[in-house]
Structure 1
Amino acid sequence: MKYMLIMRSSGEPAPDGGGASYEDSIETMSRYNEELVAAGVLVAMEGLSDDPTESVVVDYAQTPPVATDGPYGEAKELFGGYWILDVASQAEAVEWAKRAPLTFPGVKVEVRRIASIDEFPQENPWIQRERAWREATGQL
């Protein structure tokens, strides 16, 4: 089963500025990522830009949709990056999430299962097309 570990942060500053240098932070996170690779569970991972004000929000409440700058104004937590793991269970995904070296105030990891294409109605022509595309690109 695949799970997405979603890194979220409230943006609270660390009391001592975080304590670790940027290089130390990269090394710590890289060691964690290497553990995921060595265990054979890492499928993908990415981090997002440090500046959420560079983002654009597309709001579908109107037709046509409206694009505005920055994150949602009322956002209390910002999405900072993710890992996708292929593990045996949610419990295993949670254990990996607990090991992530995210020791800053306001940081959380949300663990969400990724639905498999097999969970959708296989007789649907759009699902059949997606399955064919996934097979052709080596994703199945």
Structure 2
Amino acid sequence: MRVMVLVKATKDSEAGLKPSAELTELFEAMGRFNEELINAGILLAGDGLKPSSEGKRVAFDGPSRTVIDGPFAETRELVAGFWLWEVKDMAEALEWVKRCPNPMPGPSEIEIRPIYELADFGDIVTPELAERENELRARISGQ
């Protein structure tokens, strides 16, 4: 089972990184945690995200596209970083998140979301669609 693990943004993360001893300790702790994930064969990808002030959103309405510049207002709804994990089940993902160092200097949250697999869509996935999806995934992993 693949899951996306989302580190929720805080006022501090939205303000941008400011070098400090606390930040150095946080980076070291997260580095050790990431190494544990790699050694366990769980970590597929992960990174931190710059503040939303450096981001953009694209709003869709039929054929119309509207670009919205950051920053975005609801900090608690934003994402400051992510991991992509391969785990046995949600219980295993939850146990790993509980072991994670606090990803922010103050209070923070991490959200775990399962990723759709082709099997989740049942009969609407034809053999041709499944083959195409598998080809695309193979190309991605070969990059």
Bin for the TM-score computed over the shorter chain? 0.7 to 0.9
Pairing of 1:34-49 with structure 2 (within 5 A): 34-49=35-50
Scaled by the length of structure 1, the TM-score of the pair is 0.79
Q: How far did 1:125 drift?
A: 4.1
Runs of 4+ in 1 over 6 A off after TM superposition: none
Pairing of 1:1-140 with structure 2 (within 5 A): 1-11=1-11, 20-49=21-50, 51-61=51-61, 63-102=63-102, 104-120=105-121, 121-123=124-126, 125-138=128-141
Identity %: 31
Q: Summarize deviations over 1:14-39 as a string: whole Å, max 9, x none.
A: xxx9x843222211110010111111
The answer for unaligned runs of 5 or more in structure 1 is none
What is the letter of the counterpart of residue 45 of structure 2? A
Q: How far did 1:62 drift?
A: 6.5
Q: How far did 1:128 drift?
A: 3.4
- Conserved in 2, the CA contact under 8 Å of 1:10 and 1:76? yes
Q: Summarize deviations over 1:70-92 as a string: whole Å, max 9, x none.
A: 04334533201111111111011
Report which of the two has the higher share of helix: 2
**Aligned residues: CA RMSD:** 2.6
What is the letter of the counterpart of residue 118 of structure 1? A
Aligned length: 134
Q: Distance in 1 between matches of 2:53 and 2:112?
A: 25
Q: Summarize deviations over 1:41-72 as a string: whole Å, max 9, x none.
A: 111111111x2201101111464210011043
Q: Distance in 2 between matches of 1:75 and 1:24?
A: 24
